[in-house]
Amino acid sequence: MFLFPEQDASIVAQSSAQSLAYVGDAIYELYARLHCFIPLRRSREYHSAVVDYVRAESQANALDRLTLASQLTDPEREVVRWGRNGCRPTVRRADPDIYQKASGLECLIGYLYLTDRLRLQYIMQEIFTAPTDP
């Protein structure tokens, strides 16, 4: 799953928040698809289950759970803040605050994928094993 080698955090920090969120969105969806793979089901049911996880509202809730449980380090909270401020809402159906939280989470996921995959694995486990999963 890790085709791209980990990078130095100082180099990744030069990326835009939107670029990190773009990578984070893809990684988050991959984890959601893998999480929903078992039990086996029809592709339409897979799609529906995955959409429940990747919706902006679900991502915002996941970030809230991580924050409330104090699961994020200070540098990670800074990346989330950077992502929230650097990604402006473009979709009309989502509340801007929800969209910004989701963008902050995606930015964090992209950042961790590029810099610290062990920490990424921990965060994703926290997200996808929470008792409040959709």
CA distances from 121 to 1, 85, 112, 127 (A): 12, 25, 9, 10
Q: How much is the pTM?
A: 0.87
Q: Which residues, including other chains, have CB under 8 Å from residue 6's CB and lie 6 or more apart?
A: 114, 115, 116, 117
Q: Which residue has the higher pLDDT, 6 or 51?
A: 51
Strand ranges (DSSP E) for 7-127? none
Q: Report how far residue 52's alpha carbon sits from residue 9's, in angstroms, rounded to the nearest whole number.
A: 31
Residue 42 has a pLDDT of 85
For residues 4 and 33, is the Cβ–Cβ distance under 8 A?
A: no
Please state, for a pLDDT cut of 70, what percent of the chain lies above it.
Answer: 90
Q: Report how far residue 43's alpha carbon sits from residue 132's, in angstroms, rounded to the nearest whole number.
A: 24
CATH number of this structure's domain 11-128: 1.10.1520.10
The mean predicted confidence, pLDDT, of the chain is 88
Give the domain ranges of the chain. Answer: 11-128
Catalytically active residues are 25
